[in-house]
Chain A
Amino acid sequence: MKKNIIAVAATGIVLATMVSCKPKNAGNAVSGDAAQKSFVAPGKYDEYYNFVSGGFSGQLAVYGLPSGRLFRVIPVFSVDPEKGWGYSEETKPMLNTSHGFVPWDDLHHPELSQTNGEIDGKWVFGNANNTPRLARIDLKTFKTAEIIELPNSGGNHSSPFGTENTEYIVAGTRFSVPEDGAGDVPINTYKKNFKGHISFVSVDKESGRMKIAFQLKTPGVNFDLARCGRAKSHGWFFFSCYNTEQANTLLEVNASQKDKDFIMAVNWKKAEEYIKQGKGVKKSVKYAHNVWNEETHTATSTIEKEVLVLDVAELKDICYFIPCPKSPHGCDVDPTGEFIVGSGKLAAVIPVFSFDKLQKAISEKAFDGDYQGIPVVKYEAALYGEVKKPGLGPLHTEFDGKGNAYTSFFVSSEVVKWNIKDLAVIDRVPTFYSVGHLCIPGGNTRKPSPKYLIAYNKITKDRYLPTGPELTQSAQIYDISGEKMQLILDFPTIGEPHYAQAAPADVIRNNGQLKIYKIGENKHPYVSKGEGEAKVIRNGKTVHVNMTSIRSHFAPDNIEGIKLGDEVYFHITNLEQDWDVPHGFGIKGANNAELLIMPGETTTLKWVPDRTGIFPMYCTDFCSALHQEMQGYVRVSPANSTVPLTFSIGTNIPKAENK
């Protein structure tokens, strides 16, 4: 420690003295070369992609590191009129649930897929907290490709964390609830009727297709976060749990009674053995499974009826509870797979558990009794050691692969770097303010890429120009390439930047990025492959308009013979075959949104005219010098009109009547 101080003093870094007196004003915590370190020149690429959850926006934002530039907001669980997500006929089924169409959710955690414990650039997963679901986003298209609902769950917070080869993505329920179909029970029967369920969702290696392989039925507690074992601990999963008091009211007080809650260690290989022996029980439930088809550009929603459940109180050796101080939030496994770091929100220490010691304790049955049928491992028997007095309110830990851990502290607004082996604090830096999760690119893998650390803050206060009562949310980037952490950039984010993951840019940009949909491979049932196929067809009161768009006109662009009471479906095929040339479509009075149609894609807008008259339609995405010319008219006549159905482009049908 003394040596450290001397070294720092000798190098004359002003920052060190500032850190020790914890500046209230952030400006002076930034040293001179910060701009240089975060600057990415115009036209140059960033080093990393940063996938940042939008929290209550329900979406996933994609930023570049170290510039903090926003590239894209991927609509996931919430409708997005800008992209037609949840408004076009093709995307509506993606937001279907057993409760019907749900237009909003709360996305907290992104999880990048891995192969052999490293980020493979295929998919990123996201969790829906409110109406429990998992989403898979395809990183070739940056589009949500699949959403699966989770039965027996309430508040899907302990999710979507994955295993080393993305064999499974897990989904642990935050709220314990009565099992689906349990009927009408009083809330005060929590202890008797409320259960936790952890879903293990398998992911097909090639297609990415998800399936609820099984659920573990656990005692009723709150599950918060989770991490898979890796390398030597592959085959295990670790979940933080709180409210082991089993309170169902005023949890702020009633769930903070005990000195220790638990980290639940799950041997999922053991669960697989039980399933092979036929020990699981099939339960009748109801959940939606929504899949996007890249060939038809259309989603389908299927209601599934069954789930396989393993009761971990009956089926021994799947689960063990490890006591962990005071309402643990983070439950993070280091790159070697040996150390499991618990972060008790209300604790004064950070306990570090040893996987080897845990295995020994289990084999020697070093238990402190059981909790509702699950063995409780003796704290000391699994403990490697504690980081003493690290700060106030530890939340979450990421790793640099060089033997160091970085833990966020919500209450004391700081990031603390400490050494895993000797549990000594190396450095601490302030955050502005109230940091939640941290991210190091690959920080949850076998091979982190420890150049930057990003802190995602809960409170912004005075960091930016004020914008009324609601302020932007904020993230901060630290250079962690040296011994000391250095703040180099603040950047504002959408929604709540709850958690994020980052990947080296090349892993994703070289994964076979889709630039266009090949028009020849378009299998949409209403595709128009060329203007020659554009047409308008009446089928009773339903009218299908198969329309094309190309710079800079629609075909057809004059349509007559639509009548009041008709339901009109505009199926628009973008005939462009060049990267970055989407067309948009808007029509007056549409009660939904615009369409944004990618090159070679077909997308459908339903339009029910509410009055007679002439309705303009136009391209909404600036496409060429003649973009403002990309427009047309639809004539809506009275219900009993005899105006024939006609459509045209370039010439008047019927002939012009102007005199």
Chain B
Amino acid sequence: MKKVLILLSSTALIYACGGSSSNKSNQGSTNQATQTESTTPESKSDDYDATRGEGKFTSENITIGATLDTKLAKAGEEIQGVKCSSCHRLTEEKLVGPGWKGVTQRRKPEWIMNFITNPEPMIDKDPAVQAQLELCLVRMPNQSLTEDEARNIYEFMRKNDGVK
């Protein structure tokens, strides 16, 4: 029963968040019903894991090789050109969003892959992302990346960070 109460209160919290950001500019997904659906399963507890982020990826379900997988990195570079490069430089320079240089050293792979596939809840919960939002003022859009595409982009980020 207690758990149910917690669930209810956390759902209410999400609703409240959704309501306060009713301005389209502040919302990745403007459909409240959809937003609630997609976030409810994740809000079973209040302990947001700032190391892992929130989404499908965990340290267990992804494998990162010791050396670069050039095939994945090449595929990732192509997607980057279509869906990411408008806002992110490959250097440390901030454009719309932060530059990519060094990101694989700052963040766990699962965090990065969760964030790029599931940005909306992480923008609301992750302290580092919220701090970044205060600098950039643009919520990173959900670019509908598949799990494979996210993995490929991560590999390209490694390449960009000098992994051979």
- Inter-chain CA distance A518–B28, complex, in Å, is 17
16 A–B contacts from the bound complex (CB under 8 Å): A45-B33, A530-B82, A532-B85, A533-B81, A551-B96, A551-B138, A553-B96, A577-B142, A577-B143, A577-B144, A578-B28, A578-B141, A579-B30, A580-B31, A623-B25, A650-B95
Q: Which residues of B line the A interface, CB within 8 A? A: 24-26, 28-34, 81-83, 85-87, 95-96, 137-139, 141-145
Restricting to A612-643, which residues have a CB under 8 Å from any CB of B? Answer: 622-627
Contact of B85 among A531, A553, A623 (CB under 8 A): A531
Beyond A529-B81, A530-B86, A624-B139, whether A579 also contacts B25 by CB under 8 A is no
Residues in A with CB closer than 8 Å to B86 are 530-531, 548, 550, 553, 555, 575
- Closest Cβ of chain A to B23, distance in Å, is 8
Complex partner residue of A624 from B25, B30, B82, CB under 8 angstroms = B25
Q: In the complex, how many residue pairs between chain A and chain B have their CB atoms under 8 Å apart? A: 75
Please report whether the interface of chain A is mostly helix, strand, loop or mixed according to DSSP: loop
Expressed in whole angstroms, the Cα–Cα distance for A74 and B143 within the complex equals: 26
> Which of B29, B32, B138, B142 lies in contact with A552, CB distance below 8 A?
B138
Task: Return A576 CB to nearest CB of chain B, in Å.
Answer: 6
Q: CA separation between A622 and B25, bound complex, in Å?
A: 7
- Tell me if B141 and A581 are in contact (CB < 8 A): yes
- Mark A571-596 against chain B: 1 for CB-CB distance below 8 A, else 0: 00001111111000000000000000
The answer to whether A532 touches B81, judged by C-beta atoms less than 8 angstroms apart, is yes
Collect the chain A residues with CB atoms within 8 Å of residue B31's CB.
579-580
Interface residue? A525 (CB, 8 A): no
Q: How far is the CA of A579 from the CA of B143 in the complex (A)?
A: 9
**Contact mask for chain A residues 398-426; partner B; CB cutoff 8 A; 1 contact, 0 none:** 00000000000000000000000000000
A518 touching B81 by the CB < 8 A rule?
no
Distance in angstroms from A72 CB to nearest chain B CB is 14
User: Shortest beta-carbon distance, A621 to chain B, in Å?
Assistant: 9
Q: Closest approach, in angstroms, between the C-beta of A87 and any C-beta of chain B?
A: 24
Does A278 interact with chain B (Cβ within 8 Å)?
Answer: no
Interface size class of A (residues with CB under 8 A): 20 to 34
Task: Say yes or no: A625 contacts B25, CB within 8 Å.
Answer: yes
Residue from A516, A519, A650 within 8 A of B82 (CB atoms): A519
A residues in contact with B30, CB < 8 Å = 579-580
B81–A530 CB distance below 8 A:
yes
From B25, B81, B141, B145, give the contact of A576 (CB < 8 A): B141
User: Counting CB contacts under 8 A, is A12 at the interface?
Assistant: no
Assess whether A32 is interfacial by the CB under 8 Å rule.
Answer: no
Q: A625-B138, A626-B138 are in contact. Are A577 and B83 (CB under 8 A)?
A: yes
Q: Which residue of B lies closest to A580 (CB)?
A: B30
A551 to B26 alpha-carbon distance, docked (Å): 12
What is the CA–CA distance of A627 and B25 in the complex, to the nearest angstrom? 8
Where the two chains meet, the residues of A that have a C-beta atom closer than 8 Å to any C-beta of B are 43, 45, 516, 518-520, 529-533, 548, 550-553, 555, 575-581, 622-627, 650
A-chain residues with CB within 8 Å of residue B95 when the two chains form the complex: 650
Task: List B contacts of A578 (CB < 8 A).
Answer: 28-29, 141-144
Central interface residue in B29, B31, B83, B137, by most chain A CB within 10 Å: B83
Question: Which 6 residue pairs spanning A and B have beta carbons closest together?
Answer: A577-B144, A530-B81, A530-B82, A577-B143, A578-B142, A550-B86
| A552 neighbours in B (Cβ, 8 Å) | 96, 138
| A575: chain B residues within 8 A (beta carbon) | 82-83, 86
Q: Chain A residues near B85 (CB, 8 Å)?
A: 530-532
Does the CB pair A516–B25 fall under 8 Å?
no
Which listed residue, A548, A576, A580, A623, touches B29 by the CB 8 Å rule?
A580
Please name all residues of chain B whose beta carbon is closer than 8 Å to the beta carbon of A519 when the two chains form the complex.
82-83
Question: Smallest CB-CB separation from B145: which chain A residue?
Answer: A577
A43 touches B25 (CB 8 A): no
Bound complex: CA of A529 vs CA of B85, how far in Å? 11
Q: Are B138 and A624 closer than 8 Å at their CB atoms?
A: yes
Complex: chain A residue closest to B24, CB-CB: A622
Taking CB as reference atom, which chain A residue is nearest B36? A43
In the complex, A548 Cα to B96 Cα: how many Å? 15
Distance between Cα atoms of A423 and B70 in the complex (Å): 79
Q: Which of B28, B33, B82, B137 has the most CB of A within 10 A?
A: B82
**Considering only CB atoms, which chain A residue lies closest to B28 in the complex?**
A578
Known contacts A550-B87, A580-B30, A650-B95; 14 further A-B pairs (Cβ under 8 A): A519-B83, A530-B83, A530-B85, A533-B81, A575-B86, A578-B141, A579-B31, A580-B31, A622-B24, A625-B25, A625-B26, A625-B138, A626-B137, A627-B25
- Contact (A550, B81) CB under 8 Å given A531-B86, A627-B25: no
B contact residues around A530 at 8 Å (CB):
81-83, 85-86
B-chain residues with CB within 8 Å of residue A624 when the two chains form the complex? 25, 138-139
> In this complex, what residue of B is CB-closest to A600?
B144
Tell which of B32, B34, B142 has the most Cβ of chain A within 10 Å.
B142
* Complex interface: chain B residues within 8 A of A533 (CB): 81
Contacts of A43 in B (CB 8 A): 32-33
Determine whether the beta carbon of A516 is less than 8 Å from that of B138: no
In angstroms, Cα B33 to Cα A622, docked, is: 22
Q: Which residue of A lies closest to B34 (CB)?
A: A579
B46 shortest CB reach to chain A, Å: 24
Residues on B with C-beta less than 8 A from A532 are 81, 85
